[in-house]
Amino acid sequence: MRSRTTRRLLEHLEAYLFLLPALVILGVFHLFPIVYAFVVSLLRWNMIDPVRPFIGFENYRHLLSDEKFLLALANTSYYAVVSVALAIPLALGFAILLNRRLVGMSWYRTAFFIPYVTPLATGAMVWHWLYNPDRFGLLNYLIGTIGIPPQPWLLSPAQAMPALIAVAIWAGLGRDIVILLAGLQNISAEYYEAAQIDGAGSWQLFRHVTLPLLSPTTYFVLVISMIGAFQVFALPLFMTGGGPLNRTLTIVYSIYQQGFQYFRMGYAAAQAYVLFLIILVITLMQRQVAARRVHYDL
Amino acid sequence: MISDSGYQRPPRLRNLFIHLVLIASVLIVLLPYYLMIATSLKPLAEVFTYPFTWLPSRLAWENYGEAWNHAPFGRYFLNSAIIAVSETSGVLVTSALAGYAFARMRFWGREALFLIFLGTLMVPGQVQLVPNYITITRLGWLNTYYALIVPWLASVFGIFFLRQFFATIPQELQDAATIDGASHLTFLRRVVVPLSRPAFITVALLTFLGSWNALTWPLIVTNTPEMRPIMVGLLSFSSEWGTQPRLLMAAATFSVLPVLAVFFVLQRYFIQGIARAGMKF
């Protein structure tokens, strides 16, 4: 008979055998790169140059004075804040409408969801055509029917980013609705009954029951939307190439340009780390706010 | 339920109003699809017309053949299928094994490892882009299926999702299996996997679609048309044929069809998965 220690050891060993495939892949391609990206960000690493000197935080210092990167930072923040601020109230409104048990609700939900399953690349191509700046564009035709002259849309430095934001909202709305709808359905009917007995009207029910009890879900949607928005890439890649005048250049687009068009690996890694920090700060800040503002169901 | 909360308007009129709002919104949401399909079926002369025509005078199906022949779309689709199927099967196997270990086995370092894995979910994927590109280059894998597939054969999301599900399986079942002399692997294969079918379908679906729609990684590790998946193929197609919306829209239509087909067949699992996990892939 094997001793107890041997058996324990074998049990642990077996568990590690189960973990091994995932550990190897995640270790090599997900964990190690997090550390390695930081190391690379401290080097001057150009793909053709065999010498990769250690330059400390030089890449990061350079970022702070790189106007193009600062513009990308500003563009991305603008995109993230505006798209999330518009998408969440809109999604909440639709979720509340869809939460009524009427005929055909699941059909509407599916329809809203289709853009989310659609590859963003495909969606971007179609919207690019929709935004055609000539009179042939569908959008220009539609605004023409109410007397507005054709707009340049993606060709205009001022309109390009709002145009991308509209596509982002279109693409993400279905996901937000589905998550918020699940949150709404988790709220116990007792709260509404109790509030109604106290004479609350529908606005008061929304303001004092729905909104606070839904806040953990809304908060969750807010966090994942912000994190996703800061990583926007496919939309400017397909629709504007980062233009006009770099007005739709985003952080990830800039990482792509630096790393894989100019092959400045160290500089690209530093930009990626800045993105990581921003996302970390958003998550932590929102956690702080949540601790004070979010109400959890009892 | 929020409905019927002492609103003054009669419910029937109000419901009609809700339907009208929803129908109008859905029409706006689906308008790009209408434009895509309508343009893809318009003859050349009807694409650039003013005013805009809602319907083509005849269905120009030849646009599809023309678009298909202007780029190696067959190869793009094949590549996407190979990548998505390999990734999905890989993720299911590695996540099932690891998820099982986390849910039902005791081992040294379990909590620490779990936290480390969870922590990686906070790191945006772009951080790994540069180092992984370097690793792939050093392995000599640039522009191969290995580069496209191997880094994605395991998924933290898959592990957590299955772990949560596995943890709900009653311990009594496991005890009974152990008494019958079943090993962990047998118990996983014979009991846990069949009981967790919906969870597996959700993970498979999200992995498949994530892989099919992936853009950044395949964009940087492929450099010839033979290795491109469909999304990267679309990017080069749209820059080459940007002046021909009817061809672009035909290509857009056939690129989205497989995804929508999968979605419509399995949408129940899909919507449940999103509602539960809320994960963006």
Distance from the Cα of A230 to chain B's closest Cα (Å) equals 9
A111 assigned to some structural domain? yes
Instruction: Number of helices (H) and strands (E) in chain A: give both, helices first.
Output: 14, 0
What CATH code is assigned to B73-277?
Answer: 1.10.3720.10
Q: Which of A142, A193, A131, A133 is closest to A164 using CA atoms?
A: A131
ipTM reported for the complex, 2 dp: 0.88
B191 Cα to chain A: minimum distance (Å)? 17
Residues of B in contact with A173 (CB under 8 A): 29
Please judge whether B6 and A170 are an interchain contact, meaning their C-beta atoms are less than 8 angstroms apart.
no
Q: Could you tell me if residue A55 is inside a domain?
A: no
Chain B positions in Cβ-Cβ contact with residue A237 (cut-off 8 Å): 215, 235
More confident of the two residues A115 and A294: A115
Closest to B128 (Cβ–Cβ): which among A14, A37, A136? Answer: A37
Q: So what's the pLDDT on residue A25?
A: 96
Every domain of chain B with CATH number 1.10.3720.10 lies at: 73-277
Q: Above 60 in pLDDT, residue B5?
A: no
- Which residues of A are less than 8 Å from B52 in CB distance? 136, 138, 141
Do the chains contact at B216 and A136, CB–CB below 8 Å? no
139-168 in B: which are within 8 Å (CB) of A? 150-154, 156, 159
Q: What is the pLDDT of residue B278?
A: 47
pLDDT digits 0-9 by tens, B97-106: 999 999 999 8
> Is B128 within 8 Å of A11 when comparing Cβ atoms?
no
pLDDT of residue A8: 84
CA distance B268 to A52: 52
Report which of residues A100 and A167 the model is more confident about. A167
**Is A246 a residue whose pLDDT tops 80?**
yes
CA B266 to CA B275: how far, in whole Å?
A: 15
Do the Cβ atoms of A26 and B156 come within 8 Å?
A: yes
pLDDT at residue B3 above 50? no
State the virtual CA torsion across B178, B179, B181, B184 in degrees, nearest 10: 0
Dump pLDDT digits (tens) for A6-41: 888 888 999 999 999 999 999 999 999 999 999 999
Is A23 a domain residue? no
Residues of A in contact with B150 (CB under 8 A): 25, 29
**B66-88, pLDDT tens digit by residue?**
999 999 999 999 999 999 999 99
Instruction: Inform me whether the pLDDT recorded for B198 exceeds 50.
Output: yes
Chain B residues in contact with A177 by the CB 8 A cut-off are: none
CB < 8 Å to B270, chain A:
117
Residue A200 lies in a domain: yes
Answer yes or no: is A270 within a domain.
yes
pLDDT at A86 over 70: yes
Residue B224 has pLDDT above 90, yes or no: yes
**pLDDT given at position B4:** 47
Average pLDDT, chain A: 90
Segment B94-122 shows an average pLDDT of: 91
Contacts of A115 in chain B (CB under 8 A): 29, 32
Residue with token string 């009594």: B172
**pLDDT grade for B1, boundaries at 50, 70 and 90:** very low
Tens digits of per-residue pLDDT, B25-39? 999 999 999 999 999
In order, the DSSP letters of B160-225 are HHHHHHHHTS-HHHHHHHHHTT--HHHHIIIIIHHHTHHHHHHHHHHHHHHHHH--HHHHHH--SG
| Residue A279 to chain B, least CA–CA distance (Å) | 8
Q: Which pLDDT does position A7 carry in this prediction?
A: 83
Choose, out of A10, A17, A35, A125, the residue to mutate when testing the contact with B (most B CBs < 10 Å): A125
Q: pLDDT-based confidence at A293, cuts 50/70/90? A: low
On whether the CB atoms of residues B64 and B39 are closer than 8 A, the answer is no
pLDDT tens, A215-229? Answer: 888 888 888 899 999
Asked whether residue A28 is assigned to any structural domain, the reply reads no
The CATH number that applies at residue A132 is 1.10.3720.10
Share of residues in chain B with pLDDT > 90 (%)? 59
Average confidence score pLDDT of chain B: 89
pTM of the model: 0.89
Residues B9-27 have pLDDT tens digits of 567 888 899 999 999 999 9
Chain B residue with CA closest to A171: the answer is: B29
- What is the residue-wise DSSP string for B25-72? HHHHHHHHHHHHHHHHTS-GGGTS-SSPPSS-SS--THHHHHHHHHTT
Q: Chain B residue closest to A120 (CA)?
A: B213
B49 to chain A nearest CA, in Å?
6
Whether residues B131 and A96 touch (CB distance < 8 A) is answered with no
pLDDT confidence tier of residue A49, bands split at 50, 70 and 90: confident
Q: Which of A16, A111, A255 sits opposite B129 (nearest CB)?
A: A255
Q: The domain containing residue A285 runs over which residues? A: 66-293
User: How many angstroms away from the CA of B110 is the closest CA of chain A?
Assistant: 10
Q: pLDDT of A105-154, one tens digit each?
A: 889 999 999 999 999 999 999 999 999 998 888 999 999 999 999 999 99
Number of domains in chain A: 1
The pLDDT tens digits for B123-180 are 888 999 999 999 999 999 999 999 999 999 999 999 998 998 898 888 888 888 888 8
Structure tokens at B208: 């498949």
